[in-house]
Amino acid sequence: MSKKIYELIIIGAGPAGITAAVYAARKKLDFLIISKDIGGQAAWSGDIENYTGYQFISGPELTLKFNEHISAFGIDVIMPEQAKGIEKQEKLIKVVSDKSLYLANAVIVATGKRPRMLNVEGELEFKNKGVTYCAICDGPLFRNKPVAVIGGGNSALDAVLQMMKISPKVYLININAGLSADSIMKEKVKQADNVEILHNAVVERISGAAFVEAIDVKQNDARKHLNVAGVFVEIGLVPKSDFAGILARKEKQEIVVDCFNKTNVEGIFASGDVTNVPEKQIIIACGEGAKACLSACSYLSTHWI
pLDDT tens-digit series, residues 68-81 = 999 899 887 898 99
pLDDT digits (tens, 9 = 90+) for 203-219: 999 999 999 999 999 99
pLDDT of residue 2: 55
Annotated catalytic residue within 30, 76, 98, 137: 137
- In this structure, are residues 263 and 274 in contact, taking their beta carbons and an 8 Å threshold? no
Cβ burial, residue 91 (10 Å; 0-12/13-18/19+)? exposed
pTM: 0.81
Closest CA to 240 of 69, 63, 29, 86: 86
Q: Nearest-CA neighbor of 277 among 304, 293, 298, 259?
A: 259
Domains 5-114+237-303 and 117-233 share a fold: yes
| Domains of the chain by residue range | 5-114+237-303, 117-233
Report pLDDT for 305. 63
**Of 22, 24, 23, 66, nearest to 41 (Cα)?**
66
pLDDT at 56: 87
Q: Is 137 a catalytic residue?
A: yes
**Catalytic choice (37, 47, 138, 242):** 138
In terms of CATH, what superfamily is 5-114+237-303?
Answer: FAD/NAD(P)-binding domain (3.50.50.60)
Sequence-ordered alpha helix ranges (H) in 119-233:
135-138, 154-163, 183-190
What pLDDT is attached to residue 191? 93
247-276 pLDDT, tens per residue?
999 988 999 999 999 999 999 999 999 999
Contact (CB, 8 A) for 282 and 62:
yes
> Is a pLDDT exceeding 90 seen at residue 302?
yes
- Domain 117-233 in CATH 3.50.50.60? The answer is yes
As a whole number, the mean pLDDT across the chain is 93
Q: Is 30 one of the catalytic residues?
A: no
